[in-house]
Amino acid sequence: MSTLHCLVATTQKHLDDALRVRWTVFGSELGLLSTPPPALREVHCFDTLETTLHFIVYDNQRPVATARLLLPNAEVALTTGLSLGIDLEQKLDLSALCVPDLRPAETTRYCVLRRWRGSEALLLLNAVMYQESRHRGVSHWVAAANMETDSLDDARLVCRVAAHEGLVSQRWRVEPRIRPEGPTQPVAPLYSPQQRQRAHEGLLEGLRLPRTLGLFSRKLGARFVGDPVYDTQFRRYALPLVAALDDIPPSTLALFEALTASPQRVA
């Protein structure tokens, strides 16, 4: 029997644990990154900002999952000439979110070691991130969620499925600042030829959303707010979304409360 618990990084060891989990998932398990670095960590310049919060789930003493929350950063905003000073703002025009009643923060770098992907680790990350976000006055999460494909056709089909299910925002719309091109010969299709043919005929029922998009939209009440954007680092398309913390479903909030009330025991 093991015990899952989640904390916010406060030490160098915590940060190191998070970066090692990121490399293991993104680099080793999923093969989304290229040449392994000498020290097997996935490192980014936002990781050490005082406005960056790292969340780590431990199974007893072993780090098994992580995510980070980027709060607006005045130094980055001044340097870039943009408004919020978060990483996603380099790729997307987020000016629609720069209004007085919003306090957005970016959720990013979600990853769970393969053995723990069927556990409560990802929901526990979100539960603790929700608590910390509320404590810091965050009102909305913004993200670009992994679409699990490098095929533009399949990424566009995901958007059709999302619209069919009523998961596209009627309030928000963001546009890309840059439009990197994906590969001309994709290697990670999401749908089969039969599924694409059914979609071409207008039959979208039964087509699944990528796991991360499904979690954000169904568990967290997120809505998609833009077109797919190709991520050149991770070599997959990503879909912009916004989640209002006030709109997280009551069933999810009850689950958050249960998850954070005591350590989660898994067989």
Residue 1 has pLDDT above 60, yes or no: no
* Tokens (6 digits) for 30: 């999923």
**Tell me: the pLDDT tens digits for 92-140?**
999 999 988 899 999 999 999 999 998 999 999 999 999 999 999 999 9
Average pLDDT of the segment spanning 53-66: 97
Residue 20 has pLDDT above 90, yes or no: yes
pLDDT of residue 35: 84
Give the range among 27-36, 56-65, 102-111 with minimum mean pLDDT.
27-36
Nearest Cα neighbor of 174 from 151, 199, 207, 140 is: 140
| C-alpha span between 251 and 254 (Å, rounded) | 5
Helix, coil or strand: residue 57: strand
Count CB-CB contacts under 10 A for residue 259: 19
pTM of this structure: 0.93
Average pLDDT of the segment spanning 138-144: 98
Average pLDDT of the segment spanning 35-53: 95
* Tokens (6 digits) for 35: 């040449």
| Residue 245, CA distances (Å) to 130, 131, 132, 214 in order | 8, 10, 12, 17
String of DSSP letters for 211-243: HHHHIIIIIS--EE-S--EEETTTTEEEEEEEE
For 141, phi then psi, to 5°, come to -100, 135
Scan for tokens 């790292």, then name that residue: 54
- Bridge partners of 242, per DSSP, are 142, 223
Work out the mean pLDDT of the chain and round it to a whole number: 94
Structural domains in the chain, sorted by start: 2-266 (3.40.630.30)
Residue 267 has pLDDT above 60, yes or no: no
